Amino acid sequence: MDYLDYQFVDSEDFVNTYDEVPLWSASFGLLLLKHLELKANQTILDIGSGTGFPLFELAERVGNSCKLFGLDPWKNANLRAQEKIKNYGISNTTLIESSAENLPFEDQSLDLIVSNLGINNFDDPDLVYKECHRVLKTSGKLVITTNLHGHWKELYEIWYQTLHQIGNESYFKMIENEEAHRRNLAGVYQLFTNNGFQITKAVEDSFTMKFLDGSAFLNHHFIQLGWLTGWISLFPKAELQMIFAKFESNLTQYAKQNGGLNLTVPMAYIAGEKL
C-alpha cells in the first residue's frame, strides 16, 4: 500500500505537466473513457498517443495489472509524455517513437488497441487497421474515437457562401473536397469490416464550440494549428487577403445574428473485435 506514503511535492517540474489536455482532445477522450470496458491483466496500445492523453488517464484507471504502450512518431510529444510518466509516477506504461504503419509488436500479442483522434486521420488508415489486426489476439478489441462528416457544418456553410460571393468554382470545389475527407459512420465501419473486425459497439455524440466572432476563431492557436494552415494551402497566395477578409467578415456576421459562432462537432466511439 505505497499510496499511504503519498505526499504532494510541489515543484516547477510537476506544474509543467499538470495542466494540459487540449480541450479538443478532451471531448473525444472522455467519450472513449466513458464507454471503454476496463479489464485486468490486459496489454494495451494507444496509437497516436501524442503528449499522453488519454494514454496516462487510461493507464491510471486500469492500474498495474495492465501493461500499456503509447506509440507516436512525434519526438517532442514523446519527450513531454515521458516527463509526465516521471511526474505522475506511472509505472505500467512505455512510450515508443514509431509509426503505426509498422507496429513493433509480435502477431497476436495485444488485448486492446485504442486511438483517440488517431488512426482515422492518418495518411494510410487501411494499412494501420491491417497492422492492428495482425498484432491483436483473436477477439482482441480496437477502439477509436473520431470526428465525423458534418463536422462544423455551420462553418462550412459560411465557407460556401464566401466562395459563392467570390465566384470561383474551383475554390468552392477545394473546400468541398476538404470537408468531404471526413468519413461518415458508414465509412468508419468500412475501415473496420474491410480489415477483419466486426463492430461490437458504436456511440454517436456531439458537442458545440462557441466563438465570439470570426476574428477570435481565426486567431485561436488550436484552430490555426489544426485547420487554418490547411485552408491557407488551398488558395493562391495573392488571393489570401481577399478570401480571408470576406470569410472572417461572414463569420462575424453569422455570429452577430446567431448569438455567437456556434460550431457543432459530431463524434463517434467505435469498437471492433478481431475476427
Ligand X SMILES: C[S@@+](CC[C@H](N)C(=O)[O-])C[C@H]1O[C@@H](n2cnc3c(N)ncnc32)[C@H](O)[C@@H]1O
Binding site for ligand X (CB under 6 A): 22, 25, 29, 47-50, 53, 71-74, 77, 99-101, 116-118, 122
Q: One-letter amino acid identity for 148?
A: L
- Ordered DSSP codes for 80-97: HHHHHHHHHT--SEEEE-
- For ligand X, the closer CB: 71 or 163: 71
The least distance separating ligand X from the CB of residue 71, rounded to whole angstroms, comes to 6
- For ligand X, the closer CB: 93 or 252: 93
Ranked by CB distance to ligand X, the top (closest) residue is: 48
- For ligand X, the closer CB: 30 or 166: 30
The least distance separating ligand X from the CB of residue 77, rounded to whole angstroms, comes to 5
The least distance separating ligand X from the CB of residue 48, rounded to whole angstroms, comes to 3
In contact, 124 and 90? CB cutoff 8 Å: no
Name the one residue in this structure whose C-alpha cell is 463569420: 251
Q: One-letter amino acid identity for 48?
A: G
In contact, 49 and 84? CB cutoff 8 Å: no
Name the one residue in this structure whose C-alpha cell is 445574428: 257
Angle formed by the axes of helices 185-193 and 125-135, nearest 10°? 50
Three-state SS for 47? strand
- For ligand X, the closer CB: 126 or 169: 126
Pairing relationship of beta strands 261-274 and 197-211 according to DSSP bridges: antiparallel
- For ligand X, the closer CB: 71 or 243: 71
Tell me the C-alpha distance between 125 and 32, whole Å: 19
The least distance separating ligand X from the CB of residue 89, rounded to whole angstroms, comes to 21
The least distance separating ligand X from the CB of residue 262, rounded to whole angstroms, comes to 23
Tell me 22's DSSP state.
Answer: -
The cell numbers describing 151, all together, are 463536422
The least distance separating ligand X from the CB of residue 115, rounded to whole angstroms, comes to 7
- For ligand X, the closer CB: 53 or 171: 53
